[in-house]
Structure 1
Amino acid sequence: MLDKAKDARCSTPDLQFCHEYGRLWTAAVPSLLCNSFRQYRTAANLTLINFRKLNFANPATGAQKSIEIDDDRKTRIFWEKRMSQDVEIDALGDEWKGYVVRIGGGNDKQGFPMKQGVLVPYRVRLLLGEGHSCYRQRRAGERRRKSVRGCIVAADIQALHLIIVKQGEQEIPGLTDEASIQPKRLGPKRANHIRKFFNLNKEDDVRKFVVRREVTGKKEGAKPYTKAPKIQRLITPGRLQRKRHLRSLKIRKTEAQKEQKAEYEKVVAQRQAEKKAAVQAHREAAKAARKA
């Protein structure tokens, strides 16, 4: 009966057009309602409320790994925690038992980054300039007001950056196992860093311990050769001589300035004496004129 009534209602072309137009309008209403930013944000929160992404970094191996957590209850261990705070993550699963991580940062569901020092669990607008995090100036001296997320973790955080501080009982594949170790491509370059790396004394020659790397030429059939970085802050006889030369220049410049100052003070004293004598002679002449 309802189908027959519907067909009868839409039998004429005009009524059929109105029915189709109303159906299209009903389908378009949700997209039109999401034009404002607040309603779009609410819709995004509803769709992403049960989704979290945790980005782990292990400084010991240099590896990084990202995992997705669907259960919102597991991420409650990070709520009301601040950036740079250590958290035990046993609640994430048995494989994470004994692990301790440090919160390095994160982003909320609209992509705004967390900023250290902003002690609020929501988003604020700050006037940022050169040297501030979460901002890169385009022109010299430029400042802009930007939206940043506070450093306190809450339910609206979408992704968290975590740094492993203490390793747990089990190894995580791709993060803490031996296969995940990322070897360094370049060795230390600064002289003190080379000494620390090889446990050297000040008397040892650092140039013998530079880490060289093999390089293959771009041309076909080219022989491979080795390259070594230029050692920075290396104390050499030439550098000591240059330092002594600069020190002697500074001393000579100071002595020359003292001589110039003495000559200037001598000339000033002579001019003041001449002026004083001229004033005295003028007074005596005026006094003699009055007596006459």
Structure 2
Amino acid sequence: MKRPTLNISFPATGCQKLIEVDDERKLRIFYEKRMATEVAADSLGDEWKGYVVRISGGNDKQGFPMKQGVLTQGRVRLLLSKGHSCYRPRRTGERKRKSVRGCIVDANLSVLNLVIIRKGEKDIPGLTDSTVPRRLGPKRASRIRKLFNLSKEDDVRQYVVRRPLTKEGSISS
């Protein structure tokens, strides 16, 4: 039987780490909790003391994704259309009945996605100690001001992160 896996991300550094859990009793704090619930991660180990994580989703042992708003632990078949999570239509107006998992966590999950909300006392190697540089900067002027702590009078054009534009095989900036 495949062991459950935690997919933990830390948005402040842009890092993400997969952790295989060997003892299922460590996961009991997540059982019966819904997606978007904040949970203290102290029971995962000593290095997780003080950390608070949010449940952001997961997949069950057959690979079906969890869907927010489906208040059940099991699997249901929903008619999904454009704009729904767990489905990408191939044609305009196309709808399809797909199997999805409910948003309540239980023991039948193979992957549980967690996002670190509050950092604890110790650093976790590969997750909170290193940072991954962002590939793309913001486009909107107000978001550029927020990122670089600029006032409304400052010129934003100097701080724009240029994106390389490809035209038929040639690279220009």
Tell me if 1:149 matches 2:104: no
Tell me if 1:99 matches 2:51: yes
In the alignment, what sits opposite 1:198? 148
Residues 187 and 142 of structure 1: is their aligned pair in 2 closer, same or farther, counting only changes over 3 Å? Answer: closer
Partners of 2:98 and 2:137 in 1: CA distance: 39
RCO higher in structure (CA 8 A, sep ≥6): 2
Tell me if 1:167 matches 2:119: yes
Partners of 1:132 and 1:213 in 2: CA distance: 30
Tell me if 1:130 matches 2:90: no
Residues matched between the structures, number: 166
Gaps of 5+ in 1: 1-46, 215-225, 228-292
SS at structure 2 position matched to 1:154: coil
Instruction: State the superposition RMSD in angstroms.
Output: 1.8
Spell out, residue by residue over 1:217-252, the C-alpha distance to the aligned partner (whole angstroms, 9 max, x if none): xxxxxxxxx94xxxxxxxxxxxxxxxxxxxxxxxxx
Spell out, residue by residue over 1:183-205, the C-alpha distance to the aligned partner (whole angstroms, 9 max, x if none): 12333322222222233333332
- Letter of the structure 2 residue corresponding to residue 202 of structure 1: K
Partners of 2:146 and 2:78 in 1: CA distance: 42
Residues 202 and 168 of structure 1: is their aligned pair in 2 closer, same or farther, counting only changes over 3 Å? Answer: closer
Where in structure 2 are the equivalents of 1:21-170 lying within 5 Å?
47-48=1-2, 51-170=3-122
- Letter of the structure 2 residue corresponding to residue 135 of structure 1: Y
Partners of 2:76 and 2:152 in 1: CA distance: 51
In the alignment, what sits opposite 1:270? none
- Letter of the structure 2 residue corresponding to residue 79 of structure 1: Y
TM-score relative to the length of structure 1: 0.54
By how many angstroms is 1:126 displaced?
Answer: 0.6
Partners of 1:201 and 1:95 in 2: CA distance: 40
In the alignment, what sits opposite 2:169? none
In the alignment, what sits opposite 1:208? 158
- Letter of the structure 2 residue corresponding to residue 175 of structure 1: L
By how many angstroms is 1:92 displaced?
Answer: 1.1
Tell me if 1:182 matches 2:132: yes
Q: Which has the higher strand share?
A: 2
SS at structure 2 position matched to 1:151: coil
Partners of 2:128 and 2:148 in 1: CA distance: 25
- Letter of the structure 2 residue corresponding to residue 194 of structure 1: I
Q: Which has the higher helix share?
A: 1
Residues 187 and 143 of structure 1: is their aligned pair in 2 closer, same or farther, counting only changes over 3 Å? Answer: closer
By how many angstroms is 1:124 displaced?
Answer: 0.5
SS at structure 2 position matched to 1:182: coil
Partners of 1:89 and 1:142 in 2: CA distance: 41
- Letter of the structure 2 residue corresponding to residue 196 of structure 1: K
Spell out, residue by residue over 1:86-143, the C-alpha distance to the aligned partner (whole angstroms, 9 max, x if none): 0111111111111110000000110000000000011001111111111111111111
- Letter of the structure 2 residue corresponding to residue 57 of structure 1: S
Bigger mean CA deviation after superposition, 183-192 or 103-112: 183-192
SS at structure 2 position matched to 1:184: coil
SS at structure 1 position matched to 2:138: coil
